[in-house]
Amino acid sequence: MFDTKSYDRKYFDRLMPENVTIKYFTPKLDETTYPLCNGFDVVAAFVNDDLNKTVIDGLYNFGVKLIAMRSAGFNNVDVKACYKKIHVMRVPSYSPEAVAEHTAALLLTSARRIHKAYNRTRDFNFSLSGLEGFNLNGKTVGVIGTGRIGRAFIDIMKGFKCKVIAYDKFPSKEVDCEYVELNDLFKKSDIISLHCPLTDDNFHMIDRKGISQMKKGVIILNTSRGALIDAEDLLDGIKKRIVGAACLDVYEEESDLFFEDKSGHILGDDVLARLLSMPNVIITSHQAFLTDEALYEIARCTYKNIADFFDGKNSDNEVCYRCEKVEDCKIKKRENCF
């Protein structure tokens, strides 16, 4: 199990089955660390591990049979290289509410200047000057991606009596809001929130062109994947006063930074450093999932995925690059992929 922290180990230790033994590794899984997997049956990876073709081939040669992702996303896994070599499983829904609530917390913090007020009062500065915020009531919120997390966030925004519009490549009848085209969402939304997986099709879906279509003062929220937003174009949009605020829990170049204490180091990422210097930008380090309930569910589901695999049970949590490309997908037929 790679890229582990104390909060990961607590729940995996608590729920560990008798027939499972885990070796915890602090480093991320990549081309330099995959030799540590020699002799293991399963690799448990996380969002910033790099499972490219070289790593996949190395794991396969070591006899690794399963990659058990401790996340819903798997864009960091070369699933094509895994086909007919190593099975891949994921945790599709560990706590949609955790991520949606964190997104709402970021929005409220920005809208009501909570972060600025907190810093002021700790210095005994009780002035209200410059802390003017705005009501969420009546604002138009554009939600990109209406899976479990997107739907949870929609419910929260409706509680604030916001008008919600949504964009999804595959609209759901379960979602009680108006679906619009992406360009229309950009134009109409006061607040835009991203809740979709990262794919080749939506890489940098928010870029210079998209930002130019947005309302002046728009607030952009991202608790999904960093590369959905072109960070340099976002910075430019902030400087041009188009983007009124940005609340980010993810960043496209986060893999060598997030989850680590870099407080004693000089930050070499100039774009991130400039974003952090902006008074209207709030960045948290990929912590939207970090609740007791979510961590428990990640460990529980990961162990179940492992048990199902070695018991020969078909699982909806298996990932295959062919699933959306072929009509005779075996997983959809409740059969083993290979």
Give residue-wise pLDDT tens across range 228-242: 999 999 999 999 999
**Is residue 333 assigned to a domain?**
no
Q: 325 in a domain, yes or no?
A: no
Query: 301: domain range?
Result: 6-94+292-319
**Least confident range of 11-20, 189-198, 319-328:** 319-328
Instruction: Indicate if 157 and 297 belong to the same structural domain.
Output: no
Integer CA distances (angstroms), 123 to 42, 118, 277, in order:
51, 9, 20
Total domains, the chain: 2
Q: Give the DSSP letter string of 231-284.
A: HHHHHHHHHTTSEEEEEES--TT-TTTTTS--TTS----HHHHHHHH-TTEEE-
Is the same domain home to 211 and 234?
Answer: yes
Does one domain contain both 150 and 101?
yes
Residue 338 falls inside a structural domain: no
Q: Are residues 223 and 102 in the same domain?
A: yes
Asked if residue 161 has pLDDT above 50, the reply is yes
Is residue 168's pLDDT more than 70? yes
* Whether residue 77 sits in one domain with residue 173: no
Distance, in Å, from the CA atom of 24 to the CA atom of 45, rounded to the nearest integer, reads 11
Query: Can you read off the two tokens belonging to residue 313?
Result: 């049970």
CATH assignment of the domain containing 296: 3.40.50.720
Residue 328 maps to a domain = no
Q: In what order do the strands lie in the sheet with 42-45?
A: 42-45, 66-69, 87-89, 318-319
Q: How far apart are the first and last CA of the chain?
A: 24
pLDDT in tens, 65-107: 999 999 998 999 999 999 999 999 999 988 999 999 999 999 9
Question: How confident is the model over 191-215, as pLDDT tens digits?
Answer: 999 999 999 999 999 999 999 999 9
Weakest mean pLDDT among 7-16, 232-241, 321-330 = 321-330
Q: Which residues are within 8 A (CB) of 239 and not within 5 positions of it... i.e. 6 or more apart?
A: none
* Three-state secondary structure call for residue 191: strand
| Domain match, 71 and 102 both | no
277 lies in the same domain as 254:
yes
With 80 as the cut, is the pLDDT of residue 335 above it? Answer: no
Could you tell me if residue 63 is inside a domain? yes
Please state the length of the chain.
Answer: 338
What percentage of residues in the chain have a pLDDT greater than 90? Answer: 89
Give the three-class secondary structure for 163: strand
Let me know if residue 250 belongs to a domain. Answer: yes
- CA count, 13 A, side-chain hemisphere, 262: 14
CA nearest 88: which of 70, 75, 69? Answer: 69
Check whether residue 182 and residue 41 sit in a common domain: no
Distance of CA 130 to the CA centre of its chain: 32
> And the tokens for 35?
């030799």
Strands of 163-167's sheet in order across = 178-179, 163-167, 140-144, 191-194, 218-222, 243-248, 281-283
Q: Which two tokens stand for residue 242?
A: 């188009």
Inside any domain, residue 324: no
Are residues 228 and 209 located together in one domain of the fold?
yes
**Rounded to an integer, what distance in angstroms lies between the CA atom of residue 264 and that of residue 6?**
21
The reply to whether 136 and 225 lie within a common domain is: yes
Task: Show which residues are catalytic.
Answer: 225, 254, 286
Q: Are residues 69 and 129 in the same domain?
A: no
* Residue whose C-alpha is closest to residue 78's, from 241, 245, 321: 321
User: What was the pLDDT predicted at 332?
Assistant: 53
C-alpha closest to that of 303 among 11, 2, 16, 4:
16
Q: Alpha-carbon distance 30 to 251, whole Å? A: 19
Q: Same structural domain for residues 149 and 200?
A: yes
| Stretch among 147-156, 200-209, 323-332 having the lowest mean pLDDT | 323-332
Mean per-residue pLDDT over the chain, rounded: 94
For residue 111, being part of any structural domain is answered with yes
**Closest residue by Cα to residue 43 from 26, 27, 29, 61:** 29
> What sign has the CA pseudo-torsion 316, 318, 319, 324?
negative
C-alpha 330 chain-centroid distance? 28
- Helices 96-111 and 292-310: angle between axes, nearest 10 degrees: 150
